[in-house]
A = this chain, B = another copy of it.
Amino acid sequence: MKRRQNSPQIITLNDVKSLLNQSDLYGLITEGFIQHSKGNAVIPPVGELLFDNPPGEAHIKYGYIKDMPYYVVKIASGFYNNPLIGLPSSQGLNLLFDCKTGVLLAIILDEGHLTNVRTAVAGAVATKALANSGAKRVGILGTGTQGYMQYHYLSEYMDIESVSYWGIDKDQTENLVNKINATNSIAKSEDSIEKLCAESDIIITTTPATQYLIKSSWIKPGTHITAVGSDTPDKCELDSNILMSADIVVSDSIEQSKTRGEVYRARLAGYNATNLLELGNVLNMPNSIRTDSNQITVADLTGVAVQDLMVSQAVYNAIID
């Protein structure tokens, strides 16, 4: 028997955008984190290539979940001088393979969009799991792609009454506020991070800051914070005292948080991580981990290959459906 080998599906950004609309992203990302925390994911350490001239880096994230049909390889690079020649700094693609034969099934030329989506959906999943059920006022630091997308996906899964933005670039901040208000008049800009914290039940940080932006004393009881920006050893958005005094801290990968993100930075400052749980374990609990509306909770997300697997799989399943 000679089986004809089909060509891989080549899926472009436009396809990706329409296919994602057909997918239960919330359920898929939740399931990915649960499988990861159960130890069912096979995720080797991230592969890395560094470049000097011009400076750049490429990362290869790959893996699979046992008893699921596909393995993923994601190649993503950052060349920060690219905008000088009119190119986005982020480049890369996702590849999906059959776990039973190795056959290449899909080449997803998503131009970074899947990474943005899986990061935003993970933020929404963590926020909904940890915030007070009545939390309606959102404050977001950072007005780039992720600053918008965290709002966009959270608003699909929770009722949001208001969203306040703080950003370094005031024009960009106003533009984002206007964009949201064009369809839903709930956004405003805020010059003071302290004031933004005082007026928010949920705070989401999406900046590339390397020194903390939010002081511990600004956080009022009952607040939930989702920290998305810091995914390397160098980056940091939260005062380490926030993690030390929080009732619950959740990391998407406790293993990764030993070397990167807010948890890593807080450890350097003496955080002993006795209040630290892994997101997949929290999502798998029958009841909310939060037991009191005055508790302060933090989610620190550095990004895990199971997320890349789940969104690539969703796109592929939608196209072959």
Contacts and interface: CB of A to CB of B under 8 A. Distances in A.
Interface of A: 1-3, 5, 7-8, 10, 42, 44, 47-51, 53-54, 56, 58, 60, 62-64, 71, 73, 75, 77-79, 82, 85-88, 90-93, 95, 97, 99-104, 107, 109, 111
A92 B95 CA distance: 11
A7 B73 CA distance: 20
Given A62-B49, A63-B49, A104 B97 contact: no
Contact of A44 (B49, B79, B102): B49
B109 A104 contact: yes
A86 B102 CA distance: 13
A8 B73 contact: no
Nearest to A2: B86
B44 A48 contact: yes
A100 B60 contact: no
Contacts of A87: 3, 5, 101, 103
A contact face: mostly helix, strand, loop, or mixed: strand
Contacts of A90: 102
A85 B101 contact: yes
A11 to B, nearest CB: 12
A52 to B, nearest CB: 8
A263 B167 CA distance: 59
A54 B100 contact: yes
B47 A85 contact: no
B86 A101 contact: no
B58 A82 contact: no
A77 B102 contact: yes
Contacts of A82: 101-102
B47 A44 contact: yes
Given A2-B86, A85-B101, A73 B75 contact: yes
Contact of A77 (B51, B63, B97, B109): B97
A103 B91 CA distance: 6
A156 B289 CA distance: 70
A93 B7 CA distance: 12
Contacts of A60: 47, 60, 62, 73
A95 B71 contact: no
Nearest to A76: B102
Most buried by B among A48, A64, A100, A101: A101
A8 B10 CA distance: 11
Nearest to A66: B52
Contacts of A64: 49, 51
